[in-house]
Amino acid sequence: MLDTLQSGHTNPRMKKYRRIYFGGGSDVNGAELGTEWEDRLPLRFSRLVSDHFNVMDYNMSHGGASNHRIVRELLMSELHISKFDAAVIQMTPKWRTEYHNGEEWERVWVPSNGKTGNCKSPSKWWLENKLTTQKVEGDFWRDYFRIHSEEFFDTNEKMYHTIIKSHCKAYDVPLILLGRRLSSDLEFDFCFDEPWISKARKGHPDEEGHRQIADKIISMLS
């Protein structure tokens, strides 16, 4: 039996892997797996999958990453996607972005307050509420949403979705594309907010959840 992945590939069961690319945001990065960074690494699903196939763990994820960053790193990485035998990439909430300040890239992300973190249409909510965060005043977010409409976010998300799939397909790299159903209507192989994934207090996969995700990916790639 063959599995059809988001890249359009039908993946043979006995494929030999040398490198697997992992990209995305905090779900891939291991948020809520532990307070110490070193404690998270062996528990992340990317490490579990890599260990299963006896390959190095190439996890390029970042907490709070936007789809812009995920695509930028996919396209601009020194280790080109053609050097990998498969890719597992998460798309993140569509209203996140980033900018270059002249020296480095900085993220712009809507802070999660328990009400808007995963909703599909946050703009109206943020425009109607004067909010502050530890880093950015609420006026910034109201201005941000005044010039970034829902149509803008939806269009950008569709473009990034197409870029990821097309880039992997162009280099014959099977792709498992992941997302979150509560923040997107696009098509994914599976989503982190599905009920079969065990979750920690803030909604990220917990240790059991990472094991469940790893088992799912292994079954798709094996």
DSSP track, 137-182: BHHHHHHHHHHS-HHHHHHHHHHHHHHHHHHHHHTT--EEEEE-GG
d(CA 136, CA 119): 20
Handedness of CA 209, 162, 57, 106 (dihedral sign): negative
What is the per-residue pLDDT across 76-117, written as a single tens digit (0 to 9) for each? 988 899 999 999 999 998 888 888 889 999 887 665 544 444
Asked whether residue 78 is domain-assigned, the answer is yes
Range of the domain at 177: 17-108+160-221
Residue pointed to by tokens 């992300």: 109
- Specify the CATH number for the domain of residue 164: 3.40.50.1110
Asked whether residue 84 is domain-assigned, the answer is yes
pLDDT band at residue 28 under the 50/70/90 scheme: very high
| Backbone phi and psi for residue 105, each to the nearest 5 degrees, phi listed first | -85, 135
pLDDT: which is higher, 72 or 8: 72
Helix, strand and coil percent figures for the chain, each rounded to 5: 40, 15, 45
SS3 57: strand
Q: How many structural domains compose the chain?
A: 1
What is the per-residue pLDDT across 150-178, written as a single tens digit (0 to 9) for each? 888 899 999 999 999 999 999 999 999 99
pLDDT of residue 189: 97
Asked whether residue 85 is domain-assigned, the answer is yes
pLDDT of residue 114: 45
Asked whether residue 121 is domain-assigned, the answer is no
Asked whether residue 212 is domain-assigned, the answer is yes
Asked whether residue 7 is domain-assigned, the answer is no
Asked whether residue 149 is domain-assigned, the answer is no
Asked whether residue 125 is domain-assigned, the answer is no
